[in-house]
Amino acid sequence: MNLENISANKSFGGWHRQYLHDSETLGCRMRFAVYLPPQAGANRRVPVLYWLSGLTCTDENFMQKAGAQRVAAELGLAIVAPDTSPRGAEAADDEAFDLGQGAGFYLNATQAPWNRHYRMYDYVSRELPALIEANFPVTEQRAVAGHSMGGHGALICALKRPQDYVSASAFSPICHPVNAPWGQKAFAAYLGEDRAAWEAWDASLLLKHAQQQLPLRVDIGLADSFLDVQLQPETLERAARDCGYPLELHRHAEYDHSYYFVASLIEEQLRFHARHLGL
């Protein structure tokens, strides 16, 4: 696969780099960022945390705002942050912020015009990890995390392919998208009007029938303006309780939906993953 390095920045003894590549899955040019800690090199491979960002974001939001590199450097943990959707003139788009480019929802679209490029689930769970493992000094040990729409993405990746991940976490995830306005709008466009097809992309519904359990942590801010209507963490909590899934759901007073919240708790989430990755 053709990788083009477009930026490089030294950070806490490691390197943050951005790359472009031609995605076979998405049929377009894609950008991703990778942070390699100082331990990664010719003689040592390190595990990877895949970070999935939210609506309107790119690979840059987390890498520039979360302040994760210091702890990742200490732990010896690589971080990979893909973009949130296909990009370019050839990829379908919409004027609204919550549909189209910047709003891929980490699913595989089945409806035109979206199905031509919008296969973000296959991209982040299959193509991108294969690319990373073939080109960087990393192991096959993976964790997955995300924020908001990306929290939804992290949850469904972990629940649909638990064999691929050691642990999963999310900040402010859309927990029950079949019953949330953001999810309903995106699912109707990408998947069609058959609501039964939506259930395969809903974390609360997938968790009910999980055959393999992973360590799972979710952090929610109680001052989040999207909490009750869009996020609905109680549905995930109820599903976990009903089936005995090991969910750690942490509620934090006065925190909102922003990256101020993510930056405040990112060290706790990274150390959660480190324990399960054996770091």
Q: Rounded to 5 degrees, what are φ and ψ at 89?
A: -65, -25
Kindly name the residue from 16, 147, 257, 273 that is annotated as catalytic: 257
| Token pair recorded at residue 221 | 């801010």
Do residues 79 and 72 make contact, with C-beta atoms less than 8 angstroms apart?
yes
Q: Specify whether 148 is catalytic.
A: yes
Pick the closest to residue 63 from 26, 36, 44, 38 (CA basis).
36
* Cα 112 from Cα 210, distance rounded (Å): 30
What are the tokens at 70?
């210091």
The tokens for 190 are: 């990408």
From the candidates 148, 169, 172, 204, which is the catalytic residue? 148
* The one catalytic residue among 202, 204, 224, 273: 224
117 counts as catalytic: no
Q: Is 122 a catalytic residue?
A: no
Q: What residues contact residue 278 under an 8 Å CB cut-off, 6+ apart?
A: none
Report the run of H or E that residue 18 belongs to, with start and end: strand 14-23
Q: Which two tokens stand for residue 136?
A: 């960087």
How far apart, in whole angstroms, are the C-alpha atoms of residue 54 and residue 164? 22
Q: What angle do CA 123, 129, 133 make, to 5 degrees?
A: 150
The whole-angstrom separation of Cα 235 and Cα 240 is 9
Active site residue ranges: 148, 224, 257
